[in-house]
Amino acid sequence: MAGSTFGTLFRTTTAGESHGPANVCIVDGCPAGLELSEADLIPDLDRRRPGQSRIVSPRKEDDTPEILSGVFNGKTTGTPIAVMVRSTDQRSQDYGDIVHKYRPGHADYSFDAKYGFRDYRGGGRSSARETTARVCAGAIARKLLQTTHGIECLGFVDQVGPVRAFFDHPEHITLAQVEANPVRCPDVAKAAEMEAYIVQVRKEQDSIGGAAQIVAKGVPAGWGEPVFDKLKADLAKAMFSLPAVMGVEYGEGFGVADARGTTHCDTFLGPKPIRTATNRHGGMLGGISTGMPIIMRCAVKPTSSILLERPTVDMDGNATTIATKGRHDPCLLPRFVPMAEAMMLLVLADHMLRQRAARV
């Protein structure tokens, strides 16, 4: 299967399915000498795993990582790092009804169109369960970036359905603020509204979409390539590679559609280190980092797995109906946050290594 490896110098390969025995990541390119253990991976995995609260999937997985290679005496050796996370709470019988039916909004039909065969248990490879491996790799990238440059990466929910929170300085938000509630929205009042809305939607056997911001602080100026591998382009690809992401913007994003150049351009300030008075550019100009915080926002669709019966077709194109069983998130946003952080961290780690090779 092509397309399971991400990155140029810091390369991550993932393997595994929703209802397989385990998910695995292999990280190649991590420099030797980085202190690393399973304990470094657990915090991010705990934030991603199901069963955290009443507003996420009740599937129970410990998501305990096992480092199989690439670490000796507590430090990376420079060789590929393999990490495995076993699955223990699969209920494949919940998916017996979709063996010959296509779930609306899912990858069932497109997988059949591509391969002529699919793993119908929970969506197989297209399931968000695969992101367990990405989060492991992202935690390694986080440790590398923190150790070498003091870089911090943090995501948070800013919208669930019609309820939206606004933040003038997202770079000032802390992990403690994000983790203070199960929605992962740092606005306490809006978080309560969001949680109540998700609970209401779940009672209606429905689901709801939303959006999250991802912020990186401490990224030096100069990372990114000026043409096809722009930092903004690689970050967009990283976010779009996550399940359910329907839109990505950075800085002012689509707000520039009615902006004028006289007001949109950020004024440079000195003395060194040079910075800008505002950050409408979201930390990247010409696809290269400016040293300002990198700020992105992702729109995430409502999960298509809902209990309400809907019309669809079977594999022969015959009209039928389907109600998706199983244990699903009524809103993907709370668990999306650590997934998005992981993808930003992987891109930044890759471009950190590429920058080292860019000049004498």
Tell me the per-residue pLDDT of 272-321, one tens digit each, with 9 for 90 and over: 999 999 999 999 999 999 999 999 999 999 988 887 888 999 989 999 99
Q: What residue spans define the domains of the chain?
A: 90-356
Question: Are residues 43 and 36 in contact, defined by beta-carbon separation less than 8 angstroms?
Answer: no
Written as one string, the DSSP assignment of 103-167 is -TTSSHHHHHHHHS----STTGGGSGGGHHHHHHHHHHHHHHHHHHH--EEEEEEEEETTEE---
**β-strand partners of 208:** 331
Residue 53 clears pLDDT 70, i.e. is over it = no
Q: What percentage of the chain exceeds 90 in pLDDT?
A: 75
Topology of the domain comprising 90-356: Chorismate synthase, AroC fold (3.60.150)
Distance from C-alpha of 186 to C-alpha of 167, rounded to nearest angstrom = 9
User: What Å distances lie between residue 17 and 96, 104, 248, 305, CA to CA?
Assistant: 16, 20, 26, 17
- 3-state per-residue secondary structure call for 5-70: EECCCCEEEEECCCCCCEEEEEEECCCCCCECCHHHHHHHHHHHCCCCCCCCCCCCCCCCEEEEEC
CB 28 within 8 A of CB 11: yes
* Lowest model confidence (mean pLDDT) among 179-188, 301-310, 345-354: 301-310
Return the ∠ at Cα 334 (arms to 332 and 338), rounded to 5°. Answer: 105
202 token code pair: 């779940």
| Per-residue tokens: 267 | 């004024």
Model-level pTM greater than 0.85? yes
Using one digit for the tens of pLDDT, what is the confidence trace for 230-270?
A: 999 999 999 999 999 999 999 999 999 999 999 999 999 99
Largest Cα–Cα distance in the chain? 69
